[in-house]
């Protein structure tokens, strides 16, 4: 028989992959049934893959898997094993569903309808995938890493990359299709904001624990985020260590896992951050917690 904690853990895993699968299904449906048949492209690696598939007549799914491999490895290095596993599963399933939905009839040839409804479905799908700890596009991973080292936000990096992609799309498919693609991009990312509470929205976590150094060290090693120690005292529990750390939305799931693994009795609150002023990321090689 499963212990209660083990049972809950399995339930969480099953629900996570179930909602990820629903998100992947919606994203693949949006691309193959609404957007690609009307030559409206997504941004990021998916957009690059659509362009390469158009130029070479090689299946879109092959490019999506191959081009994303180096980004998955980068994500594993900086965001952890769970991110690698979930994102790998998500991208493989995404590729398979793209192939499957090629057999589905196009819903509409009206460009405006395809743009709006394709963007809505894609945003809901990608939002679900991000909310449950994975990503379908390696550009998101690179954007997060650049955000850690520079003052550019995740959204700004993705926007710059996508503007280049849409310029190429304009040359290949016509500037009207490029403009519709840009419209799809803004619809998609607005919906992602609603579903996943924002791809680049910062989150502040306050963690009350007895294992402050252990948790702080794990956060630093796995997420690259520095932690502020605050002395606290509970009315009943007595002396406590309070940790303050700022992370991105996509890192919240890994943060919860780190805290749960290091101190099951820890108490944590997570709130939105409107603005960050200053650098809150350190170079891992220049800092050693054990010194």
Picking from 166, 196, 226, the residue at the C-terminal end of a domain is: 196
SS3 264: coil
Residue 153 and residue 273 in one domain: no
| Rounded Cα distance, 97 and 32, in Å | 9
The answer, as to whether pTM is greater than 0.95, is: no
Q: Are 268 and 259 in contact (CB under 8 A)?
A: yes
Residues 68, 177 within the same domain: yes
Which residues, at least 6 apart from 273, have a Cβ–Cβ distance to it below 8 Å?
A: 201, 202, 203, 204, 246
Contacts of 204 (CB under 8 A, 6+ apart): 244, 245, 246, 270, 271, 272, 273
Q: What is the rounded CA–CA span in Å between residue 259 and residue 254?
A: 9
Query: Token digits for 260?
Result: 């749960």
Question: Residues, the chain, total?
Answer: 291
Q: Give all strands (DSSP E) within 90-209, no chain letters.
A: 202-209
Residue 291 covered by a domain: no
pLDDT of residue 283: 43
Q: Name residue, tokens 């991208």.
A: 91
| Greater pLDDT, 5 or 119 | 119
Candidate from 25-29, 90-94, 233-237, 261-265 with smallest mean pLDDT: 233-237
Residue tagged 């994102």 (tokens): 87
Structure tokens at 94: 């995404």
The mean pLDDT value for 280-290 works out to: 44
Q: Token digits for 113?
A: 């309808």
Among residues 204, 196, 117, the alpha carbon closest in space to that of 155 is found at 196
One domain, residues 282 and 251: yes
pLDDT, average across residues 149-161: 75
Band of residue 181 on the pLDDT scale cut at 50, 70, 90? very high
Least confident piece of the model among 31-45, 68-82, 139-153: 139-153
- End-of-domain residue from the set 140, 165, 196: 196
The mean per-residue pLDDT over the stretch 78-105 comes to 85
Residue 160 CB-half CA count within 13 A: 9
Q: Report which secondary-structure segment, H or E, holds 221.
A: helix 212-223
Does 163 lie in the same domain as 50? yes
pLDDT given at position 139: 80
Count of Cβ atoms closer than 10 Å to residue 6 Cβ: 10
181/211 same-domain check = no
Residue 124 scores a pLDDT above 50:
yes
Q: Are strands 228-234 and 202-209 parallel, antiparallel or unpaired?
A: unpaired
What is the pLDDT averaged over residues 57-79? 84
pLDDT of residue 284: 43
> In percent, how much of the chain has pLDDT > 90?
33
Residue 211: give the domain boundaries.
202-286
Instruction: Read off the pLDDT of residues 196-246 as tens digits, 9 standing for 90 and up.
Output: 655 456 789 999 998 889 999 999 988 888 899 988 877 777 788 899 999
Q: Where are the beta strands (DSSP E) in 42-193?
A: none
pLDDT, tens digit, 9 for 90 and up, residues 234-260: 777 778 889 999 988 778 888 998 998
218 and 125 within one domain: no
* Inside any domain, residue 181: yes
User: Which of these three, 196, 231, 264, is where a domain ends?
Assistant: 196
Number of domains in the chain: 2
pLDDT digits (tens, 9 = 90+) for 1-38: 445 455 567 888 888 889 999 999 999 999 999 999 99
**pLDDT for residue 291 is more than 60:** no
């Amino acid at each position: 028989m499963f212990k209660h904690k083990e049972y809950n853990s399995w339930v969480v895993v099953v629900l996570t992959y179930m909602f990820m699968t629903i998100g992947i299904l919606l994203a693949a449906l949006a691309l193959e049934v609404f957007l690609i048949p009307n030559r409206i492209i997504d941004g990021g690696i998916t957009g690059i893959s659509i362009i390469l598939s158009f130029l070479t007549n090689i299946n879109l799914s092959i490019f999506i898997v191959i081009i994303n491999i180096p980004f998955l490895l980068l994500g594993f290095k900086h965001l952890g094993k769970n991110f690698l596993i979930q994102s790998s599963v998500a991208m493989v399933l995404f590729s398979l569903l793209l192939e499957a939905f090629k057999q589905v009839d196009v819903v509409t040839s009206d460009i405006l309808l395809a743009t709006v409804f394709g963007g809505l479905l894609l945003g809901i799908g990608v939002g679900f995938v991000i909310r449950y700890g994975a990503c379908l596009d390696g550009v998101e991973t690179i954007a997060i890493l650049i955000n850690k080292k520079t003052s550019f936000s995740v959204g700004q990096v993705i926007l710059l990359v996508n503007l280049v992609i849409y310029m190429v799309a304009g040359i290949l498919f016509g500037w009207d299709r490029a403009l519709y693609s840009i419209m799809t991009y803004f619809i998609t990312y607005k919906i992602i904001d609603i579903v996943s509470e924002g791809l680049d929205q910062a989150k502040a976590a306050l963690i009350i624990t007895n294992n402050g150094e252990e948790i702080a060290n794990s956060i630093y090693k796995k997420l690259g985020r520095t932690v502020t120690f605050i002395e606290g005292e509970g009315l009943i529990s007595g002396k406590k260590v309070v940790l303050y750390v700022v992370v991105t939305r996509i890192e919240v799931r890994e943060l919860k896992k780190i805290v749960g693994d290091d101190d099951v009795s820890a108490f944590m609150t997570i709130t939105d951050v409107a603005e960050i002023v200053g650098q809150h990321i350190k170079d891992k090689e220049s800092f050693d917690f054990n010194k």
